[in-house]
C-alpha cells in the first residue's frame, strides 16, 4: 500500500488498483494557435504543468501503474458537437475552424494530439471525449472497472474545466481521486486555487489535493517496501 501526504489527509492507494489519469494534455490547449488561444487565453501558463506531469508519468510507468489519457474533441463532421458548445462566445475561430495546427478540437488533427513529452505508449488507453468530463459519452468507466481500478491520480488541463469536471464525475461513480496540484494547469491562476480548494474542502468532499513530489515519494516507498517483501534487492 502506498501512502501519500495530501490534503485534507493522507491518501492511501495500492499500485494495482490505482490509475494515473492524464486529462487533455493536447496541443490545442497548451500551444499557441490552438483552441485555448482562440478563446483569448495566455496558453504559456499551462506549460508549467507539463514538466512535473512528465516525471509523474515516467514514475507511474516504471512502477507498473495503469495510465489512461483523455483528449477533448469532435468528429470531423462535427455531428457530436452541440450548437451550444460551438456557438457560445465571440471567439474569432470556433471548434471545427481551421487554425495553425489544423481544425480546432477535431479528432485526428495535429492540434488535437497530446504533446510529445506526454505521448501515450502501447497499453495506455486514450479516451476521446466530446465534453469536458472524462466519463460523459465515453468508455472511461468501463475501462477503469475492467482493470479493477478504485482510485485515480489526476493530472491535466485545464484545472477548473476538464480536470475538475472529471474529478466530480469520478467521485459520483465511487472512485477516490487525488489531484496533483503542480501537474494541473489553468489559464487563470485564481481559478486553479479556487478549484482545488473546492475539491479538498469539507473533509475532501470531491477528493484530495497533493503535489507531484508527494506522489513520487509515496511511489518510491511503496516500490521499495514491495521489493523488500518479495526479497528483491532495493
Ligand atoms: C477546456 C479542457 N478548457 N480540457 N477544456 O475547454 O479543460
The closest alpha carbon to 105, from 35, 40, 22, 187, belongs to 35
Question: Distance, CA 211 to ligand 1 centroid (Å)?
Answer: 21
- Say what the pLDDT of residue 189 is: 96
The question of whether 172 is a catalytic residue gets the answer no
- Say what the pLDDT of residue 234 is: 38
What is the position in ligand 1's atom list of the atom closest to the CA of 26?
4
- Say what the pLDDT of residue 226 is: 86
The question of whether 162 is a catalytic residue gets the answer yes
Partners of 47 in beta bridges: none
- Is the separation of the CB atoms in 135 and 144 below 8 Å? no
Whether the pLDDT of residue 233 is over 90: the answer is no
Query: How many other C-beta atoms are found inside a 10 Å radius of the C-beta of residue 170?
Result: 24
Q: What is the percent of the chain with per-residue pLDDT over 70, rounded to a whole number?
A: 98
- Say what the pLDDT of residue 231 is: 61
The closest alpha carbon to 176, from 198, 155, 204, 207, belongs to 207
Mean pLDDT within 131-158: 98
Looking at every residue in the chain, the average pLDDT score rounds to: 96
Between 1-5, 65-69, 127-131, 227-231, the lowest mean confidence (pLDDT) is in: 227-231
Alpha helices in 101-163 (DSSP H): 140-146
The question of whether 24 is a catalytic residue gets the answer yes
Q: Is 134 in the pocket of ligand 1 (CB under 6 A)?
A: no
More confident residue, 158 or 226: 158
Sign, CA torsion 147/219/125/83: positive
Q: Is 192 in the pocket of ligand 1 (CB under 6 A)?
A: no
Residues listed for the chain: 234
| pLDDT tens readout for residues 199-227 | 999 999 999 999 999 999 999 999 999 87
Look at strands 2-4 and 11-13 and give their pairing: antiparallel
| pLDDT tens readout for residues 18-58 | 999 999 999 999 999 999 999 999 999 999 999 999 999 99
The Cα 164–Cα 206 span in angstroms is 9
Give me 133's grid cell: 468530463
Question: Distance, CA 24 to ligand 1 centroid (Å)?
Answer: 7
Strand blocks (E) in the chain: 2-4, 11-13, 18-23, 66-72, 98-99, 102-103, 126-129, 151-157, 176-185, 208-210
DSSP state of 198: H
Q: Is 37 in the pocket of ligand 1 (CB under 6 A)?
A: no
Q: Is 72 in the pocket of ligand 1 (CB under 6 A)?
A: yes
- Say what the pLDDT of residue 148 is: 98
The Cα 230–Cα 18 span in angstroms is 21
| pLDDT tens readout for residues 85-110 | 999 999 999 999 999 999 999 999 99
Q: Which positions ≥6 away from 212 have C-beta within 8 Å? A: 52, 53, 55, 56, 180, 182, 183
What is the position in ligand 1's atom list of the atom closest to the CA of 158?
7
The closest alpha carbon to 135, from 164, 104, 95, belongs to 164
> Which residue's CA lies nearest to atom 6 of ligand 1?
161
CA dihedral of 178, 181, 187, 189, whole degrees rounded to 10: 120
- Say what the pLDDT of residue 227 is: 75
Mean pLDDT within 114-135: 98
Amino acid at each position: 500500500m502506498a501512502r501519500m501526504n495530501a490534503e485534507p489527509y493522507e491518501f492511501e492507494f495500492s499500485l494495482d488498483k490505482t490509475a494515473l489519469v492524464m486529462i487533455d494534455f493536447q496541443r490545442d490547449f497548451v500551444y499557441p494557435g490552438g483552441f485555448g488561444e482562440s478563446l483569448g487565453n495566455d496558453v504559456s501558463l499551462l506549460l508549467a504543468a507539463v514538466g512535473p506531469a512528465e516525471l509523474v508519468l515516467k514514475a507511474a510507468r516504471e512502477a507498473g501503474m495503469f495510465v489512461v489519457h483523455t483528449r477533448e474533441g469532435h468528429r470531423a463532421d462535427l455531428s457530436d458537437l452541440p450548437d451550444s458548445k460551438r456557438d457560445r462566445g465571440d471567439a474569432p475561430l470556433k471548434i471545427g475552424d481551421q487554425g495553425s495546427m489544423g481544425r480546432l478540437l477535431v479528432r485526428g488533427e495535429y492540434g488535437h494530439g497530446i504533446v510529445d513529452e506526454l505521448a501515450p505508449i502501447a497499453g495506455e488507453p486514450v479516451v476521446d471525449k466530446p465534453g469536458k468530463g472524462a466519463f460523459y459519452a465515453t468508455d472511461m468507466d468501463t475501462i477503469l472497472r475492467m482493470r479493477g481500478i478504485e482510485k485515480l491520480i489526476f493530472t491535466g488541463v485545464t484545472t477548473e474545466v476538464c480536470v475538475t469536471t472529471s474529478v466530480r464525475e469520478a467521485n459520483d461513480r465511487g472512485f477516490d481521486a487525488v489531484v496533483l496540484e503542480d501537474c494541473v494547469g489553468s489559464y487563470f491562476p485564481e481559478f486553479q486555487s479556487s478549484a482545488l480548494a473546492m475539491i479538498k474542502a469539507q473533509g475532501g468532499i470531491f477528493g484530495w489535493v497533493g503535489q507531484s513530489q508527494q506522489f513520487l515519494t509515496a511511489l518510491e516507498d511503496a516500490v521499495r517496501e514491495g521489493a523488500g517483501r518479495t526479497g528483491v534487492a532495493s
